[in-house]
Amino acid sequence: MERLQKVIANSGIASRRKAEELILAGKVRVNGEVVLELGTKVSDTAKIEVNGELISKEDKVYYILNKPRGVITSTKDEHDRKTVVDLIEEDKRIYPVGRLDYDTTGLIILTNDGELANRLMHPKNEIDKVYIAKIKGILNPKELMTLKNGVIIDGVKTSRSRVKTRKFDKQTDTSIVEIVIHEGKNHQVKKMFEAVNHEVLKLKRERVAFLDLTGLKSGEYRKLNPKEVATLYGLTANQNKKNK
């Protein structure tokens, strides 16, 4: 017996968080009956419908993509703009883990494994997300410490982060800064720099956990191998138990 939201997530329909929203909205039926209670356990033989469609188990697939600028981090876009899913040749229904802004480039994971997606996105699992930002101005020691200790964005203080200036150009009054965060709030990195009065001119995500963009040009992607997938699960295993 497994929790209903986990079964839905593992089917590739949605992440676990989205699965929970679907259950609470009355969009899920088990053996013909609407289920509204989170944590409901179902058997392997249960007939589960989401939005009237019967779900089925499918093989899991995992990709990393070097997202180009001007591509939407979504499965579809109401304005018919190109999405990250459009860039990957895959018959299975996959979706991005987290998001990168329209004008942000770099590494993003796509999969149909809702369990892993949920683990990677949960801030308590403290998965490193490494960004390189080109900003206006030069960070002084006080601003660096403020960023490291957390800043208030949208009324909430961010968790501690690691920040270092890689280089700066006095002529253009710009800096290249590396920042490592564990959260994934909307426009978080840009808002963090704005909080210390520095505009982000360019932003790229270089790494998630141990995964980087080695060998991948802009727009290119590759499948993760079984060892990489197992390592990602291992990184989140202990924390995931605590969060249940």
User: What's the rounded Cα separation, in Å, for the pair 116 and 97?
Assistant: 9
Asked if 239 and 124 touch (Cβ cutoff 8 Å), the reply is: yes
Which stretch of DSSP H or E encloses residue 169?
strand 162-169
Q: Global pTM?
A: 0.80
Catalytic status, residue 86? no
* Three-point CA angle 66, 126, 71, nearest 5°: 25
Please tell me the predicted confidence (pLDDT) of residue 207: 98
Check whether domain 128-208 has CATH 3.30.70.1560, yes or no: yes
Q: What is the mean pLDDT of each run of 10 residues along the chain (244 residues)?
A: 85 81 95 93 90 85 97 89 95 91 97 89 92 97 96 94 96 97 92 97 98 97 97 80 46
Q: Give the CA-trace dihedral at 193, 138, 126, 38, to 10 degrees.
A: 10
Assess whether the region 2-54 and the region 128-208 belong to the same CATH fold.
no
Which residue among 44, 80, 91, 101 is the active-site one? 101
Distance of CA 12 to the CA centre of its chain: 15
The helices-and-strands tally (H runs, E runs) of the chain is 6, 17
The fold of 2-54 is 3.10.290
User: What's the rounded Cα separation, in Å, for the pair 209 and 176?
Assistant: 21
Q: What is the SS3 assignment for 32-60?
A: CEECCCCCCEECCCCCEEECCEECCCCCC
Please tell me the predicted confidence (pLDDT) of residue 241: 47
Please tell me the predicted confidence (pLDDT) of residue 236: 87
Domain limits, the chain: 2-54, 62-123+214-243, 128-208
* CATH placement of domain 62-123+214-243: 3.30.70.580
Please tell me the predicted confidence (pLDDT) of residue 238: 56
User: What's the rounded Cα separation, in Å, for the pair 80 and 77?
Assistant: 5
- Region of 204 (left: φ > 0; alpha: ψ -120 to 50; beta: rest) is beta
